[in-house]
Amino acid sequence: MKSFASDNYSGIHPEILEAIQQANIQHEISYGDDSYTLIAQNNFEKEFGKVTVLYAFNGTGANVISLKCCTLPFQSVICSEFAHIHVDECGAPTQSIGCTLLPVSTPDGKLTPELVEPLLSRTGNVHHTQPKVISISQSTELGTIYSIDELKTLCRFAHSNNMYVHLDGARISNAVAALGVSLKEATVDCGIDIMSFGGTKNGLMIGEAVLIFNDKLVENAPYFQKQSAQLFSKNRFIAAQFTALLTNHLWQRMATHANSMAQLLANEMKAIPGVTITRKVQANAVFAIIPTPAIEPLQKQFPFYVWDEQTHELRWMCSFDTTEEEIIRFATTLRNLI
Ligand SMILES: Cc1ncc(COP(=O)(O)O)c(C=O)c1O
């Protein structure tokens, strides 16, 4: 099957698979006290500077750990109406943290101080949950990207209002590759307090990393990780994958490829009469509207999701292993259907 459904439909990059194989040699201490986890820690520090790293099996788990570190049960998390934590995690953050999510309408999936400010009017009022975190996704669920200036402005605003900034980085590699800066410049240097660093959507078999930059959030984090059932006894197999991801810029090579495939896909598709690309293509996602009768037959050959059942807007995702040839076949199939 060739698909444009999600970047987690793809398999494992050979360099990642090789790293798993290499870690499968002898016995190692369990629960992250092994040599592979130590090497991964050093690699993360080379990229980000001082950082506490914990691991999770999936993005939902990484978000739950991160938000637990930042909140008490009477506090709230401000996020976009499209945020994965709000829409796609079956209520995991609210269920396991006990705090409230405050979703904000946003045309492009991004939050700004102007959009967040109205939610702060009841700060200090005991009858209302107290906003404590601004949670953003980079790249966003709509495939858009916060610029460095936008990130800095939002972090400054959050901190001046006694809030933390959490970054859901399931696709951080795609965003940073597109911004053309270093991982550090796009995250901790902007003022991000805590983030997930996505692996599964960028060539890993399994695993996400929680990166904690703000020392105030570190103390309870390992307990939250364990209590959220995210502490892997054989952590070396997750850590080894991250070492491979951070070696020779593999994260960037894969993400740059996926992003450029999305550009090609958008260009090929918008040349087809009746096809509209509906959002800016900044990372590895393309959103489109096509003639409705073509949707199902196209999906049968190349699976993808309908993003919005009301408007029939579609989402096409590119991965590290998407090829030009697949894109041309996908576009030709749609052209023929239309
Ligand atoms: C923005 C975002 N965050 C997190 C995730 C991770 O989710 P999962 O728990 O399925 O790994 C996803 C996956 O679709 C995502 O799109």
Query: Which residues surround ligand 1 with Cβ inside 6 Å?
Result: 58-60, 84, 137, 141, 168, 170, 200
277 vs 77: CA distance, rounded Å: 32
Is residue 172 domain-shared with residue 274, that is, in the same domain? no
Q: 167 with 39, same domain?
A: yes
Contacts of 148 (CB under 8 A, 6+ apart): 179, 181, 185, 186, 190
- Residue 170 Cα to ligand 1 middle (Å): 6
Domain count within the chain: 2
52 C-alpha to center of ligand 1: Å? Answer: 21
pLDDT for 37 equals 98
pLDDT in tens, the chain (338 residues): 789 999 999 999 999 999 999 999 999 999 999 999 999 999 999 999 999 999 999 999 999 999 999 999 999 999 999 999 999 999 999 999 899 999 999 999 999 999 999 999 999 999 999 999 999 999 999 999 999 999 999 999 999 999 999 999 999 999 999 999 999 999 999 999 999 999 999 999 999 999 999 999 999 999 999 999 999 999 999 999 999 999 999 999 999 999 999 999 999 999 999 999 999 999 999 999 999 999 999 999 999 999 999 999 999 999 999 999 999 999 999 999 99
CATH number at residue 24: 3.40.640.10
Q: Are residues 197 and 78 in the same domain?
A: yes
Q: What per-residue confidence (pLDDT) applies to 184?
A: 98
Using the CB atoms, write b or e for 105-120: b if 16+ within 10 Å.
ebebbbbebebbeebb
Do 181 and 305 lie in one domain? The reply is no
d(CA 162, CA 133): 9
Same structural domain, 271 and 212? no
Residue 173: per-residue pLDDT: 98
Q: Which residues are 289's β-sheet partners?
A: 276
Q: Name the pTM for this structure.
A: 0.97
User: How many angstroms is it from 273 CA to the middle of ligand 1?
Assistant: 33
Q: Are residues 220 and 255 in the same domain?
A: no
Q: Which domain holds residue 210?
A: 14-248
Shared domain check, 290 and 276: yes
The answer to whether position 183 is within a domain reads yes
Which of the listed residues 248, 279, 297 is the one where a domain comes to its end?
248
Is 72 domain-assigned? yes
* Domain final position from 248, 265, 298: 248
Residue 4 lies in a domain: no
Any domain includes 1: no
234 and 308: one domain? Answer: no
Q: Residue 336: what pLDDT? A: 98
Q: What is the DSSP string of 165-216?
A: EEEE-TTHHHHHHHHTS-TTTTTGGGT--EEEE--GGGT-SS-EEEEE--GG
Distance of CA 315 to the CA centre of its chain: 16
Pick the last residue of a domain from 248, 264, 282.
248
Q: What's residue 1's pLDDT? A: 79
The pLDDT value recorded for residue 183 is 98
SS3 state of residue 80: strand
Residues 18 and 150 in one domain: yes
Q: Are residues 100 and 237 in the same domain?
A: yes
Structural contact between residues 170 and 137, judged by C-beta atoms closer than 8 angstroms: yes
CATH assignment at residue 261: 3.90.1150.10
Substitution candidate for ligand 1 out of 168, 174, 196, 305 with most atoms within 8 A of CB: 168
CA angle 109, 110, 112 (to 5 degrees): 145
Verify cis geometry, omega within 30 degrees of 0, for the bond prior to 139.
Answer: yes
SS3 assignment, position 276: strand
